[in-house]
Amino acid sequence: MINKKIGFIILSLLLTACASQTSQVIIAPEIMSASGTKYQGQPVSIKVQDMRSGTHVLQVLRKDKAAQLHSSQEAMSGVLLNTFSQEYKKQGLTVTPAANNEMTVFIDAALISVQQEMLKYKANSHISLRIQIENSKQTLTKTFNIRGNSHGPLQADIAVLERDFNQQLAKLIGQVLASEDIQQFIR
């Protein structure tokens, strides 16, 4: 009888420990595509370089404790490469590995930083993408930034922070896709 109780307690503790392990953040921006094509089949190559010193997307900071870091389930560079390739194809570009117009998306910042206290939290996010397009004649470089913050009682909800981050990333990607400077340069 006592062995069953001890076994039940140990099993409960193990299940609780597994349930509270940190999860990865899912980066999946939902882009609202504009209708119509903006390009006439011009070829462009797209690559993404992650310039951040760390690859985590979320950090939870607590006083006198080690930071809790959450990385993304899929590499952010891969998500952005797929997203930009798909969206530019919808706009009429021909995305190909070798093209006169070479676009590089640099991820300079992509982080949600949560300051967690006993009964409240404060979260700040910053995403910065630098777009560089080169052809045989010239180079265009533009930087796109977005910031956000939130706060609330008790503990920060990772799922809500993830949703907000994806919405901000989608908005930032939309700004890149709608950039008239980029459109004029590629034409």
Count up the domains in the chain and report the number: 1
* pLDDT value at residue 34: 65
The tokens 């870091």 sit on which residue? 69
How far apart are alpha carbons 60 and 112 in whole angstroms?
8
* pLDDT value at residue 87: 93
Amino acid at 56: H
Look up the domain containing 114 and give its range: 2-186
pLDDT-derived band at 124 (thresholds 50, 70, 90) equals: very high
46 and 84 Cβ atoms separated by less than 8 Å? yes
User: Can you tell me the mean pLDDT for 122-139?
Assistant: 95
Closest residue by Cα to residue 155 from 8, 53, 20, 4 = 20
Lowest mean pLDDT among 32-46, 69-83, 153-167: 32-46
- 3 vs 89, which has greater pLDDT? 89
Q: What is the CATH number of the domain that holds 119?
A: 3.40.50
Rounded to two decimals, what is the model's pTM?
A: 0.83
